Structure 1
Amino acid sequence: MTDTENAPHLAADSALIVIDVQKGFDDASFWGPRNNPAAEDNIAALMDAWQASGRPVVLVRHASRPGSVLAPDQPGYAFKDLVEERRHESLLVTKTVNSAFYGTPDLAGWLASRGIGQVVVAGIQTNMCVETTARMAGNLGYEVLVPLDATHTFDLAGPEGLSLTADELATATAVNLQGGGFARVVTTAQLLSAAPAAQLTA
């Protein structure tokens, strides 16, 4: 069975939440090795599909503490060009923590005011702000879809000399989200296949 045959149902008002696609994440000396070089192209394709079908897009930007490449006074705070070029009328949420639901303006309030019950979460980093936002969305009762190939992350060191590669962290996120009942993990191709069909049948 192909990706397109497994395509999820997309609501006509499904909101695409694009997390922290900021220039500062291009600084390999700060973050270390990353995975999934196709992430940005997949994010761009999703943004194009959402905007073409009239679905809402939410852009989330992280404002880090001074000294970080994502601090508001740093060039890395800006969105990557692929997002800035597609910004249009998207809602902009600014946050200082991992969850987009703890940002300004209030994301949950904005979604509720529009009666939106389904969200698609993509962006950076897979196991940090993407996973945290998806988990919280699931807890709040939203139907959550996460295109894992429209996310990326970085190798990470933990306690006692433990470490995981970016690919291992992405796999853990997929297992946590779908195995834990927070979200359905899908592919960009599945969502692109579903997007026009959902618009026509809405």
Structure 2
Amino acid sequence: MSETVSTALLLIDIQASFTSRPYWSDAEVPAFLAACNALIDGCTRQGVPIVQVLHTDGPAESSNPFAVASGLIRPLDGLRSYTPALSFHKHRHSALVGTGLAEWLKGRGITRLIVAGIRTEQCCETTTRHASDEGWDVDYVTEATLTFDMLTPAGTVLTAAAIKERTETVLTERFATLCSVSTALARSLPATSQAQAAA
């Protein structure tokens, strides 16, 4: 008798829209994509369902990179091709708001979520906090998230690295378990497989 898969991978907003934003930077993209692709490969091998979340908002004109008419509501170039168990467009920061995702997860007995995507401190963090408050265990894989430098209200630069560190600080032991790609994949194995791997 096979064990029920209780983990799902959420790939949040890993889409071409961001490349049209003035803050876009390629600097961390190769490492980010490598981490995301490793999660996709590992979850595919283990039979962990992968949920594709893409963001749309703002005016419907093609000049808005987050409008469907822009043609940019598609996976970021370099992201591994995969067959999503569920795919949807969201219109809020949390992937659990107005999407039916919560019902889909509960209907499949999924109790743990692996979070990856763009941006670290925005939709990834917001979804993590929301999911934790709703009762899911969340594995937050910072290396599989991407963000960009920001200006503080005081006008100083807050680097992407500092933003990631801040997100880790506020999430850990409150809303999520911080995980590397390999740790998240190991934690998504059925209990018997975990025991065999540890033996």
Same fold? TM cut 0.5: yes
Counting matched residue pairs gives 188
- For normalisation by structure 2, the TM-score amounts to 0.84
One of 47, 53, 77 as aligned partner of 1:54: 47
> 2: CA distance between counterparts of 1:21 and 1:32?
13
1:31 aligns with 2:23: yes
Residue type of the alignment partner of 2:90: K
State the shift of 1:197 in Å.
6.8
The answer on whether the counterparts of 2:43 and 2:49 sit within 8 Å (CA) in structure 1 is yes
Q: In the alignment, what sits opposite 1:63? A: 56
1:85 aligns with 2:81: yes
Matched with 1:6 is none
CA-atom RMSD, angstroms? Answer: 2.3
Distance 1:17 1:60 in 2: 7
Q: Which of the residues 163, 170, 173 maps onto 1:169?
A: 163
Identity of aligned residues (%): 32
Secondary structure class of the residue paired with 1:17 = strand
Other structure's SS at 1:160 match: coil
* Alpha-carbon contact 2:129-2:175 (below 8 Å) kept: yes
**Structure with more of its chain in helix, by fraction:** 1
Q: Which secondary structure state, in structure 2, belongs to the residue aligned with residue 30 of structure 1? A: coil
CA–CA distance in 2 between the matches of 1:18 and 1:97?
15
* Match for residue 184 of structure 1 among 177, 184, 189: 177
> Which residue number corresponds to residue 19 of structure 1?
12
**Helix, strand or coil: the match of 1:110?**
helix
- 2:7 aligned partner, one-letter code: S
Which SS does the other structure have where 1:150 is aligned? strand
The within-5 A match list for 1:54-133 is 54-66=47-59, 67-83=63-79, 85-86=81-82, 88-104=83-99, 106-133=100-127
Distance 1:25 1:49, change over 3 A: same
User: Quick one: structure 1 residues 78 and 89, their matched pair in 2 at CA, closer, same or farther if it must change by over 3 Å?
Assistant: closer
Shift of 1:70: 2.0
Q: Distance in 2 between matches of 1:34 and 1:185?
A: 24
Native 8 Å contact 1:36 1:149 kept in 2:
no
* Cα distance, 1:201–1:160 mapped onto 2, change above 3 Å: closer
CA contact (8 A) 1:119 1:143 kept: yes
Per chain length, whose mean CA-contact separation is higher, i.e. which structure has more relative contact order (CA < 8 Å, sep 6+)? 1
Q: Which digits, 9 at most, give the CA deviation of each residue in 1:160-186, with x for residues without a partner?
A: 32431111111111001105x000111
